[in-house]
Amino acid sequence: MAATALLVLHLMIASALVVVVLLQRSEGGALGIGGGGGGGFLTGRGTANLLTRTTAALAAAFFVTSILLTLLAQQTAPSRSIFDNLPAGSSPATTAPEGAAPAGDAPATGDRGGVLDKLQQGVPQSR
């Protein structure tokens, strides 16, 4: 529930950030939507200061929600490391996977004993 609310807030901040950036006056021509006269609402300098501060605040909020979403995803996602399945006290270099040839034998056809081959042993091959 909290993750969904945080994701919705993050998307709203991202949308607002896009709108505020597009409202700013561009330096080089007609890229900025808000470059035309503002109808006397704010002066040019006041509008620039307001939009700059709003952009900075939205950017900071965007980074904070991004970091919070990342931390939330790390806590809820299961770890998928092959090293998590090793018995306690063994190192990856000394532990042979199931079905592997003994150390003195030549590897089977197509199995060179590399890291990718060890990772693919748990994945069913479709041939």
Residue 127 belongs to some domain of the structure:
no
Q: What is the pLDDT of residue 20?
A: 93
Q: How many domains does the chain have?
A: 2
Residue 93 belongs to some domain of the structure:
yes
Q: What is the pLDDT of residue 97?
A: 58
The answer to whether residues 72 and 90 belong to one domain is no
Q: What residues make up the domain containing 15?
A: 2-76
9 CB-contact burial (10 Å; exposed 0-12 / middle 13-18 / buried 19+)? middle
The answer to whether residues 63 and 93 belong to one domain is no
Q: How many CB atoms lie within 10 A of CB 30?
A: 8
The answer to whether residues 67 and 93 belong to one domain is no
The answer to whether residues 57 and 90 belong to one domain is no
The answer to whether residues 107 and 51 belong to one domain is no
Q: Model confidence at 114, in pLDDT bands (50, 70, 90)?
A: confident
Cα→Cα distances 99→18, 22, 107, Å: 54, 60, 11
Q: What is the pLDDT of residue 93?
A: 58
Residue 25 belongs to some domain of the structure:
yes
Q: What is the pLDDT of residue 42?
A: 55
pTM of structure: 0.51
The answer to whether residues 24 and 52 belong to one domain is yes
The answer to whether residues 97 and 60 belong to one domain is no
Q: What is the pLDDT of residue 49?
A: 87
The answer to whether residues 47 and 94 belong to one domain is no
pLDDT digits (tens, 9 = 90+) for 63-103: 999 999 999 988 876 767 777 776 766 665 555 556 655 55
The answer to whether residues 110 and 70 belong to one domain is no
The answer to whether residues 16 and 72 belong to one domain is yes
